[in-house]
Every structure is written in structure tokens, then in C-alpha cells.
């Protein structure tokens, strides 16, 4: 999924070693005491957190509650102020601040390679000691959600929510045609053929926005080849010529040729396919859990008839249906130079504690990162259904364009787009192999 990451992040991080301390200074973020308005306040150290949230939305409001409660605690000798930097400027401002040693004490980061660059530059506090002191904190997380937040076997961030890709389906259409949700690729292909023969669009699917088609293919590749082929690519030792990737290309073309996608799918972007499904014009949609709020919105024609299942298994495939594509969508890391590391850890525990994790699910509609039984009267039914599916999750693997970065990741997305437009998979992945070898490490 393309996230518009700033491509110069690695270069900016190099400034840590070469940029003068005076660059980009911002006096409002310098260390200082709180105003002398009382004994408790006088002892508090002023800290700063950067996030990429917009100032008004349900999740931001919940985060504001967390920070307000943190600042009111008398047992913590620090207070936190939050600076919202939404959109593209976020990483540029974060990196400039870190380079000038005026960065925030706590900040949001994407997982995997993005977080790893900060860890590699020794800019982050490892959380391993905190987990060792409080093992129940670490044990509270759902399996797999910390996997993408480590570097060289040390954990450097905790998530507050995560998103996964699943197969959503219209129960009403399935009932009309006496179909059951597909658990295998053969069943999926059978459902596609029945629906197409009856004039129903099987899958709301578009490739105009390349990442939307790519995330579908990433699920196919994992179910066919398991984790190893992509892990090897991530580690710089794999090849796009692996049979699982080639077969993935053929599967995408087979679905296309069997009428699985709308006729104009090459011209449809992400908004168009979401709207198509929401209006009941397609039977299935493979997308991320971030789309749940749209599916159950008041103007949705399917708000009471959406089901969700994991992406289907493949014959003789090495993948596991309890392996999910996604990412921890909001991760908090502590600056190695944080003014009060213990206080920062306390705030992380609050973000990931039951009280606010429950609010994130019930009010925000996001998937909580800890083991939590949701209140059925307060949580959207579709969120509950997906949460139940995730109880057996063994692993979370990250979107290719996030894990591999925008250069190689975006080229993968465009490779899938080209295959769907008719390019032979063998040729397409051979070109991607050449591209990757030329740009690996950039």
C-alpha cells in the first residue's frame, strides 16, 4: 500500500552525524521546567510528542484523553505536549529535529524498514529492559503485532492499533445465489464463475491505483509460497523469480480471465472500488480493515449484510490462513535522548492498556493490539467479527511497498499492474528482478 513515505529519510538520518546542534532549533521544545503553579507542577519535566494525526477525529480525541490523564498523574514527574504534523511534512520535520538534536521525546513511526533506520542510527530507546521488568505488559499483546517493530532482535516501538487485509463479502448476494464464503482458491474460483454467469460482479477490484491490486497479489503470494520468499526479498537474499511470485502473476490473470473483476478495472481507483462494494454492486472486496467504517456508515447500502473471512488457502500452498497481511498502523517509539525515559514508558503503557485499547476499538473502530474481549453492545459487529478471526493469528507480514520502501515497493505495485494489463508474469518479474538488483539499498 503506498503511503507516500519521504524517500530521503535515510539521507536525512545521516544528518544526525553531521548537522550542527543549532540547525532547525525550536525553542518551544527545549528542556525546561513547567510554570510554577504548584508543588507538583514545579517538579515536572516538559516533554514533547510528535504524531501525524489530524486534530479532530475519533482516534486523535482518544489519544488526547490518554495524554491528559498522563499529565494529571502525580506519580509521574513529567508532562507531555503533542504536536500534530499530518501528511507528507511529518517525516521531514521529524528527521530535521532529530538531526539537530531537537527532536521529540516520543514519536510515531511506521514499522519495519522505516523504524529500522532510526534504530540503526542509535536514535531509539530499546524497550527490551522495560519488557523484562514488566513481562505481563509484553504478554498482553496479540501474537505477531511486535514482529515488525524490532531491529537486530530488539524491540523499539509499541503499536496502539493495527490494520489487516481480509476478504469482505456481501451476505445478501451470497444468499441469493446459494453460495458459501470461499475458504480455498478453488472455492473462490467457483464463486467467481457462478456470480459472473449470473451477471454479478464478483470482486470490487481496481488497478488504477497500483497498491490496491498489489495488496491482493501479496495475499496470493503468501498463500502459495508461505513467508520465506518475501522474507528473503526483505533480507536482500531473495529473488523475484521464485516460482511463488510467477504463479501469483498467473493467478491474477486467471481471475481476470474468469470475469472476477469489473470490465473497467484498470480504470478504477481505490475510492471507486470501495464505493462499488458499499453500494452493493459487487459481491466481494479484498481490502484493509481501515475500510470498515465506510462499509457500516449510515449511507452504506450493505451496512447490515457484510461478512468477513481470512484470505483463502491455495492447493499445496505453503501459506497459512492465520498469517495476515497488514501493519501496525500507529507505532510509538521513544527517543534515545528522551528527557525522562521512565515517564515515556509509562505513557506507552497507557496507550496500550485495556482502558484505552477498548476505546480505540469501541469508539474509533480500529483493531486493538492487546488480547481483549470487546463489548458487543459498543463495538461495531464487523469489527467484532474480524477481531474473532484474528484470535488465531500466527504472524503479520507487511505491505511490500512499506517493507521494501517506496523505490522497490512501488515498482512491485506497478509490476502487478502490468501483469493485469497483459504482460507475461515471467517477463514482468524478470524486469522487477533487474530493477531490484540495481536499486537495492537505495
| 381-395 pLDDT, tens digit each | 898 899 889 888 888
Report the pLDDT value the prediction gives residue 324, as an integer from 0 to 100. Answer: 94
- φ, ψ for residue 377, nearest 5 deg: -80, -15
CA 425 – CA 417 distance, rounded (Å): 11
CA Rg, the chain, in Å?
A: 23
Strand partners, 388: none
Residue 16 clears pLDDT 60, i.e. is over it: no
With contact defined as beta carbons under 8 Å apart, do 361 and 387 qualify? yes
Q: With residue 331 as reference, give the H or E element that holds it.
A: strand 323-334
What would the grid cell of residue 250 be? 498467473
Strand partners, 50: 83, 107
Report the pLDDT value the prediction gives residue 441, as an integer from 0 to 100. Answer: 63
* Mean pLDDT value across residues 358-383: 83
In this structure, of 86-90, 228-232, 313-317, the range with the lowest mean pLDDT score is: 86-90
Residue 3 clears pLDDT 50, i.e. is over it: no
* Mean of all residue pLDDT scores within the chain: 87
Report the pLDDT value the prediction gives residue 171, as an integer from 0 to 100. Answer: 98
CA 221 – CA 429 distance, rounded (Å): 13
Residue 218 clears pLDDT 60, i.e. is over it: yes
Q: How many CB atoms lie within 10 A of CB 88?
A: 11
Q: pTM of the full predicted structure?
A: 0.74
With CA atoms as reference, report the closest residue to 29 among 98, 75, 91, 77: 98
CA 216 – CA 325 distance, rounded (Å): 9
- Annotate 322-352 with b (16+ C-beta within 10 A) or e (fewer): ebbbbbbbbbbbbbbebebbebbbbbbebbb
List, in order, residues 6 or more apart from 246 with CB less than 8 Å away: 425, 426, 429
Report the pLDDT value the prediction gives residue 88, as an integer from 0 to 100. Answer: 77
Query: What is the three-class DSSP state of 340?
Result: coil
Amino acid at each position: 500500500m503506498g503511503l507516500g513515505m519521504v524517500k530521503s529519510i535515510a539521507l536525512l538520518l545521516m544528518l544526525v552525524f553531521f548537522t550542527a546542534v543549532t540547525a532547525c532549533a525550536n525553542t518551544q521544545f527545549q528542556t525546561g521546567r513547567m510554570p510554577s503553579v504548584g508543588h507538583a507542577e514545579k517538579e515536572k519535566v516538559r516533554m514533547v510528542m510528535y504524531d501525524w494525526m489530524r486534530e479532530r477525529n475519533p482516534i486523535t480525541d482518544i489519544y488526547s484523553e490518554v495524554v491528559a490523564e498522563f499529565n494529571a498523574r502525580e506519580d509521574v514527574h513529567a508532562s507531555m505536549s503533542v504536536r500534530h504534523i499530518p501528511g507528507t511534512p511529518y517525516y521531514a520535520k521529524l528527521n530535521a529535529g532529530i538531526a539537530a538534536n531537537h527532536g521529540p521525546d516520543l514519536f510515531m513511526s511506521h514499522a519495519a524498514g522505516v523504524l529500522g533506520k532510526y534504530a540503526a542510527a542509535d536514535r531509539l530507546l530499546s524497550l527490551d529492559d522495560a519488557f523484562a521488568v514488566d513481562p505481563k505488559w509484553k504478554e498482553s499483546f496479540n501474537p505477531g503485532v511486535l514482529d515488525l517493530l524490532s531491529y537486530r532482535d530488539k524491540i523499539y516501538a509499541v503499536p496502539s492499533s493495527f490494520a489487516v487485509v481480509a476478504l469482505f463479502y456481501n451476505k445478501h448476494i451470497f444468499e441469493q445465489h446459494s453460495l458459501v464464503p470461499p475458504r480455498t482458491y478453488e472455492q473462490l474460483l467457483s464463486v467467481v464463475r457462478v456470480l459472473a454467469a449470473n451477471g454479478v460482479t464478483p470482486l470490487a477490484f481496481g488497478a488504477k491505483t497500483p497498491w490496491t491490486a498489489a495488496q491482493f497479489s501479496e495475499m496470493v503470494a503468501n498463500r502459495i509460497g508461505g513467508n520465506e520468499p518475501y522474507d528473503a526479498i526483505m533480507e536482500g537474499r531473495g529473488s523475484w523469480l521464485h516460482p511463488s511470485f510467477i504463479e501469483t502473476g498467473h493467478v491474477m490473470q486467471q481471475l481476470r480471465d474468469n470475469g472476477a473483476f469489473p470490465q473497467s478495472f484498470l480504470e478504477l481507483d481505490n475510492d471507486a472500488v470501495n464505493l462499488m462494494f458499499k453500494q452493493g454492486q459487487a459481491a466481494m472486496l479484498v481490502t484493509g480493515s481501515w475500510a470498515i467504517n465506510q462499509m457500516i456508515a449510515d449511507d452504506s447500502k450493505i451496512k447490515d449484510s457484510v461478512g468477513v473471512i481470512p484470505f483463502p488457502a491455495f492447493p499445496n500452498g505453503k501459506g497459512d490462513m492465520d498469517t495476515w497481511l497488514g501493519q501496525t498502523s500507529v507505532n510509538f517509539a521513544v527517543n534515545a535522548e528522551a528527557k525522562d525515559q521512565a515517564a515515556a514508558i509509562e505513557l506507552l503503557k497507557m496507550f496500550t492498556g485495556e482502558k484505552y485499547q477498548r476505546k480505540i476499538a469501541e469508539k474509533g473502530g480500529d483493531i486493538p493490539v492487546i488480547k481483549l474481549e470487546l463489548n458487543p453492545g459498543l463495538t461495531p459487529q464487523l469489527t467484532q467479527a474480524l477481531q474473532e478471526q484474528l484470535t488465531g493469528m500466527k504472524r503479520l507480514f507487511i505491505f511490500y511497498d512499506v517493507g521494501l520502501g517506496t523505490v522497490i515497493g512501488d515498482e512491485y505495485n506497478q509490476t502487478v499492474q502490468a501483469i493485469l494489463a497483459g504482460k507475461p508474469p515471467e517477463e514482468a518479474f524478470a524486469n522487477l528482478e533487474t530493477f531490484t538488483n540495481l536499486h537495492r539499498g537505495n
